[in-house]
Amino acid sequence: MSIKVRYFAGLKESLGRSEDNLAFTGFITVRELWHCVNPDQRLPNNILAAVNMDYVDLDSGVSDGDEVAFFPPVTGG
Amino acid sequence: MTVMVVQGGFDPWQEIQSYQNSADIMAGKVGATSVFIGTMRDFNEGDPVKGMTLEHYPGMTEKQLETIVAEAGQQWHVLDSLVIHRVGDIMPNEPIVLVVVWACHRGDAFDASRYIMEALKSRAPFWKKERLITEDERWVAENTKGYKSV
């Protein structure tokens, strides 16, 4: 199993990639996941996160097979 | 209740007309129709803007919009609603978003459409990248507030 991590908009551009796949079993929070896949990058202050397309708190847990997304504040409409 | 994310242009007035024509269930019951159309400006933050590209998170966008529309339906008496949002390349004057709410009375139509629009602005995962007349590009950092602070 693995966790798919996706990035959007300006965050995708600054990281230079749109996704990561992390082979993982066990418990990890969204915040810890960010540091696993971006060890040299600080978590941006205004970042939003979603797990399986629902907004989540950065301290919520992630499970095997989840799709996690990180992105800047939304600007649609 | 219909939510659509569309690539390319759309004519909001034509969409409203064809939706109303197909929704027989509303016939005779509608006392109020609230329509909001958001269009692209040719300026932002003091700079002329030539065009922009709207990125979105496919799947999550629709999921969030459907949730928002359902929330509106729980709070107000809504007969039907239609939300269309464009993605991809957009030019000034072109429509970006359409929110229509059909209700028996104006209070429900006004309030539900305002709720949908404000929630869309803060929760639907879309991102605007502007192209200036200098050809420089920049991401819009955040949406303006919908309500004036008092």
Model pLDDT for residues B42-67, shown as the tens digit of each residue = 999 899 999 999 999 999 999 999 99
State the count of interchain CB pairs (< 8 A) between A and B.
72
Angular region, A46: left φ>0, alpha ψ -120 to 50, beta rest: alpha
Beta-bridge partner residues of B54: B88, B128
Smallest CA–CA distance from B54 into chain A, residue: A76
Residue A53 with chain B: CB contacts under 8 Å: 57, 59-60, 63-64
Tell me whether residue A76 is in a domain. Answer: no
Mean pLDDT estimate for chain B: 95
d(CA B38, nearest CA chain A) in Å: 6
The tally of domains found in chain A comes to: 1
CATH code of the domain containing A53: 3.10.20.30
What pLDDT, in 10s, does the model give residues B95-107?
A: 999 999 999 999 9
List chain A residues with CB under 8 Å of B139: 9-10, 72, 75
Asked if residue B144 has pLDDT above 90, the reply is no
A39 has a chain B CB within 8 A of its CB: no
Looking at residue B128, its pLDDT comes to 98
Considering only CB atoms, which chain B residues are within 8 Å of A72? 127, 139, 141
Distance (Å, rounded) from C-alpha B114 to C-alpha B76?
Answer: 11
Per-residue pLDDT, A37: 96
Interchain contact B140–A (C-beta under 8 A) = yes
**Residue among B38, B123, B125 whose CB faces A8 most closely:** B125
CA-based max dimension of chain A = 39
The answer to whether A50 faces chain B, any CB pair under 8 Å, is yes
Which H or E run includes A11? helix A9-15
The CATH number that applies at residue B47 is 3.90.1170.40
Please report which helix (H) or strand (E) contains residue B18, including its range: helix B12-22
Q: Which domain holds residue A36?
A: 2-71
- In angstroms, the CA A17 to CA A6 distance is 9
Task: Give me the DSSP letters along B95-146.
Answer: EEEEEEEEESSHHHHHHHHHHHHHHHHHHS-EEEEEEETTS-EEE---PPPS
Domain coverage including residue B26: 2-136
User: Is B60 contained in some domain?
Assistant: yes
Tell me whether residue B19 is in a domain.
Answer: yes
Residue B145: inside a domain: no
Q: What is the pLDDT of residue A55?
A: 98
- Give the pLDDT score at A27: 87
What percent of chain B is modeled with pLDDT above 70?
98
Q: pTM of the predicted model, to two decimals?
A: 0.95
A16 is a domain residue: yes
- Tell me whether residue B146 is in a domain: no
| Per-residue pLDDT reduced to its tens digit, A1-56 | 799 999 999 999 999 999 999 997 788 999 999 999 999 999 999 999 999 999 99
- A77: in domain: no
Q: Is the pLDDT of residue B150 over 70?
A: no
C-alpha A65/C-alpha A36 separation (Å) is 16
